[in-house]
């Protein structure tokens, strides 16, 4: 098995800074990043909400590799200081020994380059896996052209392969404003920025700049539907909402656009941290469940650090990459120190110039997300599929309906719902997932997890912070059987494979 003293997952701002800081301290570092994402994975909206809006260029892997490398200046510096940079390599699993799993040969990650998979052992791990797009359903959101802010950012800046002519941006926080400006700079016409809030939420100067460039702002508005055909979205119907999120009759506006970009929020990509058993705490102001960490970015699992958006994203970070960069450097130095590559004093000296992130007081995020969701359901109806992959509507979730393909109806079933289930105990999203199948589809729940939690919180009258994290299980990227399988399978594994618990007991009954 491969083995490295330090593995850094994610070559964004934080991960690259972490890898450089550790390498400068003399630690052999492998910096792993899954970009460029293959076309098929991108088509599944994994790991970001790409909305099938990549140009044909995304099929040209060599070109995409070139673009991805060129998009991050710090990568060249990382290679100069000896970081082993591996692009196009995803991390699909993370494993370590625990009370109920004691046979592993050290903590390890599952990697894949899309052709094969393998394991790599680590002494220290820095997870800088970033954040993903918050998905919120509206009528027509399954059409090509609905995408997320990070998906758009990735296609615009990393791949230079965004296929969009005219975009409507949902969300007027800095995330939305930044997305709009980036799109404008790449020649995409931004028709409108929409928010359910009565006023714009983001930076005033940036708002003024965007207004000056002809972008229209629609506050106290939501989306009724996105219309279009085989090529995807062609128009978006906006509608004004009142204080109770009810659509105002006759206030519809039709806007021609081929893209709707959800830039309402980002959700930390904690799946690897979750698999490793790091303690996660719900912090709405940081985007949901985030890892507990000390001031050196060390998680509750001593060998694992977190840095950048994965440690928590707030709207202020959309305009200020220095926060993520600082966290990355802190983590890199701390990992080097914990490996013995730096003495205590030297480590302190190396981080002395890192600005303690101006104690941001980020705002609670989920009330705004819930308001969006409510407005979308009121404007578009509760039959919208919150889980697109498995076609589970908001009404199905609340009604705890068995999946449509079972075609099951009974008087008994019609009496059951989330409300009746609440009599038996607190709301449990994993249980709801298994019964309704919301979150079990191709995108591995990336686009519906938050909606499911928000709906369950609202329907059950539970604070969103009281809704447990829907579990993550490996592989956290959808890998084909033929890719996941171990080409290096040992003779012992081959020969000693049990036929259940003994040779004559093949079946788990």
Partner 1 sequence: MVVESADVVVIGAGVSGLSSAYFLARAGKDVVVVEKGTVGGEASGRNGGMISERVDEPPIIPLGVESVRLWETLDDELGYPTEFTQQGRLQVAVSEEEMGEIFSDRDKALRHGVSVDLLDSLEIRDMIPGISDRTLGGMFSPNGGHANPQRAVQAFAWAFQDLAGRLYQHTAVTGFKVAGGRVSSVETTAGAIEADVVVAAAGPQTGLLAEMVGVHVPVAPARVEILATVPLEPLFDIALVGNGLYGRQAARGNLLFGGGPHEWTAVGLTTEPSKPNTPLIRNIARRLAELLPGAADAPVLRSWAGIVEQAPDYMPIIDVLESPSNYVVVTASAHGFGISPATGKAVSELVLYGESSIDISGLGLGRFADLGPDWRRSAAGSLSSCRAATAVDRYLAGVLRLKETDMRRRGVVAGAVR
- Which parts of 25-173 fold into alpha helices (H)? 39-43, 61-71, 73-80, 149-153
Interatomic CA distance for residues 12 and 74, integer angstroms: 9
Looking at the Cβ atoms of 345 and 425, the one nearer to partner 1 is 425
Nearest distance in Å: CB 20, partner 1: 30
With binding defined as CB under 8 A, does residue 473 bind partner 1? yes
What is the CB neighbour count within 10 angstroms for residue 505?
A: 11
Looking at the Cβ atoms of 3 and 235, the one nearer to partner 1 is 3
Looking at the Cβ atoms of 341 and 398, the one nearer to partner 1 is 398
Looking at the Cβ atoms of 205 and 405, the one nearer to partner 1 is 405
Pairing mode, strands 253-256 and 232-240: antiparallel
The reply to whether omega before 475 is within 30° of 0 (cis) is yes
Residues 6+ apart with CB under 8 A from 495: none
Helix H or strand E segment including 305: strand 304-306
Looking at the Cβ atoms of 355 and 502, the one nearer to partner 1 is 502
Interatomic CA distance for residues 334 and 106, integer angstroms: 21
With binding defined as CB under 8 A, does residue 299 bind partner 1? no
Do residues 437 and 496 lie in contact, with contact meaning Cβ atoms separated by under 8 Å?
A: no
Interatomic CA distance for residues 384 and 394, integer angstroms: 6
String of DSSP letters for 164-198? -SEEEEE--SHHHHHHHHHHHHTT-EEEEEE-SSS
Nearest distance in Å: CB 90, partner 1: 12
Task: Provide the β-strand partners of residue 133.
Answer: 266
With binding defined as CB under 8 A, does residue 59 bind partner 1? no
172, exposed or middle or buried, with CB in 10 Å at 0-12, 13-18, 19+?
buried
With binding defined as CB under 8 A, does residue 364 bind partner 1? no
With binding defined as CB under 8 A, does residue 485 bind partner 1? yes
With binding defined as CB under 8 A, does residue 466 bind partner 1? no
Site for partner 1 in 371-430 (CB under 8 A): 390, 402-403, 405-406, 408, 410-413, 416, 424-426, 428
Selected binder of partner 1 within 8, 119, 192, 307 (CB under 8 A): 119
DSSP symbol at 468:
P
- Which parts of 242-385 fold into alpha helices (H)? 271-275, 321-338, 344-350, 366-380
Nearest distance in Å: CB 470, partner 1: 11
Nearest distance in Å: CB 12, partner 1: 25
Interatomic CA distance for residues 211 and 259, integer angstroms: 19
Selected binder of partner 1 within 100, 243, 302, 461 (CB under 8 A): 100
Looking at the Cβ atoms of 197 and 281, the one nearer to partner 1 is 281
Looking at the Cβ atoms of 37 and 139, the one nearer to partner 1 is 37
Q: How many degrees, rounded to 5, is the angle at CA 316 between CA 315 and CA 322?
A: 130
Q: For 327, how many CA atoms within 13 A lie in the half-sphere containing its CB? A: 31
The closest of 338, 332, 335, 307 to 321, measured between CA atoms, is 307
Size of the site for partner 1 (CB under 8 A): 66
Nearest distance in Å: CB 406, partner 1: 5
Task: Provide the β-strand partners of residue 92.
Answer: none
Rg, the chain, Cα only: 23
With binding defined as CB under 8 A, does residue 103 bind partner 1? yes
With binding defined as CB under 8 A, does residue 491 bind partner 1? no
Selected binder of partner 1 within 70, 76, 104, 208 (CB under 8 A): 104
With binding defined as CB under 8 A, does residue 211 bind partner 1? no
With binding defined as CB under 8 A, does residue 95 bind partner 1? yes
Do residues 289 and 268 lie in contact, with contact meaning Cβ atoms separated by under 8 Å?
A: yes
Interatomic CA distance for residues 124 and 261, integer angstroms: 37
With binding defined as CB under 8 A, does residue 442 bind partner 1? yes
Stretch binding partner 1 (CB under 8 A), from 96-104, 205-213, 247-255, 358-366: 96-104
With binding defined as CB under 8 A, does residue 242 bind partner 1? no
Looking at the Cβ atoms of 59 and 434, the one nearer to partner 1 is 434
With binding defined as CB under 8 A, does residue 507 bind partner 1? yes
Looking at the Cβ atoms of 103 and 359, the one nearer to partner 1 is 103
Nearest distance in Å: CB 500, partner 1: 7
Nearest distance in Å: CB 335, partner 1: 24
Two tokens, residue 355: 């600005």
With binding defined as CB under 8 A, does residue 274 bind partner 1? no
With binding defined as CB under 8 A, does residue 47 bind partner 1? no
Nearest distance in Å: CB 112, partner 1: 10
What is the CB neighbour count within 10 angstroms for residue 486?
A: 11
With binding defined as CB under 8 A, does residue 489 bind partner 1? yes
Do residues 144 and 162 lie in contact, with contact meaning Cβ atoms separated by under 8 Å?
A: no
Stretch binding partner 1 (CB under 8 A), from 53-61, 152-160, 183-191, 480-488: 480-488
The contact set with partner 1 (CB under 8 A) reads: 93, 95, 98-104, 108, 110, 117, 119, 275, 277, 390, 402-403, 405-406, 408, 410-413, 416, 424-426, 428, 431, 434-435, 437, 440-442, 444, 473-475, 478-482, 484-486, 489, 492-493, 496-509
């Amino acid at each position: 098995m491969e083995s490295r003293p330090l593995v850094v997952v994610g070559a964004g701002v934080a991960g690259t800074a972490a890898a450089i800081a550790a390498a400068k301290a003399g630690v052999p570092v492998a910096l792993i990043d899954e970009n460029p994402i293959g076309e098929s994975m991108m088509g599944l909206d994994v790991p970001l909400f790409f909305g099938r809006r990549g140009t044909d260029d995304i099929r040209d892997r060599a070109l995409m590799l070139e673009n991805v490398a060129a998009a991050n200046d710090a990568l060249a510096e990382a290679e100069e200081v000896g970081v082993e940079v591996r692009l196009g390599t995803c991390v699909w699993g993370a494993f370590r020994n625990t009370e109920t799993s004691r046979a592993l040969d050290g903590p390890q990650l599952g990697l894949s380059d899309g052709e094969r998979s393998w394991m790599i052992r680590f002494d220290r791990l820095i997870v800088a896996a970033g954040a993903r797009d918050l998905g919120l359903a509206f009528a027509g959101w399954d059409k090509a052209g609905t995408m997320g802010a990070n998906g758009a950012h990735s296609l615009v800046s990393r791949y230079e392969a965004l296929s969009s002519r005219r975009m409507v941006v949902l969300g007027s926080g800095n995330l939305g404003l930044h997305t709009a400006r980036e799109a404008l700079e790449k020649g995409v016409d931004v028709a409108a920025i929409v928010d359910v809030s009565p006023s714009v939420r983001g930076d005033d100067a940036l708002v003024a700049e965007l207004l000056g460039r002809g972008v229209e702002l629609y506050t106290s508005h939501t989306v009724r539907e996105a219309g279009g055909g085989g090529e995807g979205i062609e128009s978006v119907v906006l509608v004004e909402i009142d204080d109770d999120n009810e659509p105002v009759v006759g206030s519809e506006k039709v806007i021609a656009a081929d893209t709707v970009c959800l830039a309402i929020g980002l959700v930390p990509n904690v799946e690897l941290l979750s698999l490793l058993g790091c303690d996660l705490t719900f912090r709405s102001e940081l985007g949901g469940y985030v890892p507990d960490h000390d001031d050196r970015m060390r998680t509750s699992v001593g060998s694992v650090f977190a840095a950048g958006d994965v440690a928590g994203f707030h709207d202020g970070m959309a305009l200020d990459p220095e926060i993520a960069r600082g966290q990355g450097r802190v983590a890199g130095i701390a990992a080097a120190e914990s490996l013995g590559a730096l003495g205590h004093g030297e480590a302190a000296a190396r981080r002395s110039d890192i600005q303690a992130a101006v104690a941001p007081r980020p705002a609670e995020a989920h009330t705004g997300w819930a308001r969006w969701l409510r407005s979308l359901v009121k404007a578009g109806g509760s039959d919208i599929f919150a889980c697109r992959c498995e076609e589970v509507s908001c009404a199905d979730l609340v009604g705890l309906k068995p999946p449509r393909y079972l075609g099951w109806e009974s008087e008994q079933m019609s009496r059951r719902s989330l409300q009746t289930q609440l009599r038996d105990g607190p709301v449990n999203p994993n249980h709801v997932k298994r019964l309704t199948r919301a979150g079990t589809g191709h995108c591995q729940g990336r686009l519906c997890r938050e909606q499911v939690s928000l709906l369950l919180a609202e329907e059950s009258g539970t604070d969103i912070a009281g809704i447990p994290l829907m579990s993550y299980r490996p592989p956290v990227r959808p890998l084909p059987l033929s890719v996941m399988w171990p080409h290096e399978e040992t003779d012992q594994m081959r020969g000693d494979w049990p036929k259940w618990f003994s040779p004559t007991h093949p079946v788990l009954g």
